[in-house]
Amino acid sequence: MGKRVRVQLHGVSNNRGVLIDSEATDGATVGRNLRWSDGTLVLETEIRGGTTVVDNTTGSSVQPTLWSLILNKPTIVQQLGELDYPGYLYFDGTDLTGTEFPLHDIRVETSETLTIPSSKQYLIWQEIIVQGDLVVEPGGELVILDEEPYLDPVSPDFTYSGGNLSQIDYTGGEQKTFTYNGSGQLTQLDFVRDGLTYRKDFYYTGGGDLDYINEYYV
C-alpha cells in the first residue's frame, strides 16, 4: 500500500480531515484495471470500433458495442444531418436530398402504379405520361398546372357551323372547339394542347343568363 495523505472534509472549517491512500483517486485504465460489472477486464477493442463483448453472467454473446452504434450511423441519418438549407426532402430510394420544390414522378412506367390517396393532391406541371396504372382514390385529385392555363396561341384559323363559331385551329397545334345547345347558347369550350384538354362548362339560369362556369382538365 502506498503512503497516506490527509484530505480535509468538505464543509468543515477546522482542520479535521481523513487519511486516504495517495493513489485512491487515480482513474482506471482500459486494459489494466477497468472492469465490467462481472469482474472481467475491459479491453480497448471492445469500446474503440469493436464489434463484440463477452458477458460471462449469461454466457458468450455477440453484440454491437456502444461506440460502434454511435460511429456507424446509417447513411440516410448522415445525409439528414448534412442538410443546411430550407426546402423539401426527397428520397429517391437510395439518397436523401433537399429540393427547392416538391418532386413528383411525371412518368408512370408499365410496371408501376401511381396511387393518389384520399383527400390528397398530386401536383404536376403541364403533363404526366401514364403507361402503367393511375389510381385516384375517392377525394384524391390529380392537378396539372400551366400558364392560366396556357400561353396565348397565335395565327388562328376559324371554322363556323350554322353561323356559330365551332372551332379554332392554331399554327402551334392548339385547338379550341365550341359546343352549343338548341337555343344557340355556348355550353362547352374545349382547349386542346399537347394531348391535354382544358374544358369549360357554361351553365345558365332559367332566364337564359349565364349563371356559372366549371373549369377542369379531362
Give the count of beta carbons closer than 10 Å to the beta carbon of residue 53: 19
Closest CA to 32 of 44, 49, 45, 46: 44
Same domain, 166 and 139: no
Q: Has residue 84 got a pLDDT over 80?
A: no
pTM: 0.33
Nine-digit cell at 161? 357551323
Same domain, 60 and 111: no
Q: Has residue 205 got a pLDDT over 70?
A: yes
Domain C-terminal end among 145, 174, 208: 145
Residue 117, domain member (yes or no) = yes
**Tens digit of each residue's pLDDT (9 = 90 or more) over 165-190:** 999 998 888 999 999 998 889 999 99
Q: What separation in angstroms does the CA of 3 have from each of 7, 21, 65?
A: 13, 6, 39
Same domain, 114 and 140: yes
DSSP annotation of 41: B
Domain C-terminal end among 123, 145, 167: 145
- Listed range (14-28, 40-54, 101-115, 180-194) with the worst mean pLDDT: 40-54
Same domain, 114 and 62: no
How many structural domains is the chain composed of?
Answer: 3
pLDDT value for 61: 53
Q: Has residue 63 got a pLDDT over 70?
A: no
Domain that holds residue 46: 4-71
Nine-digit cell at 174? 392548339
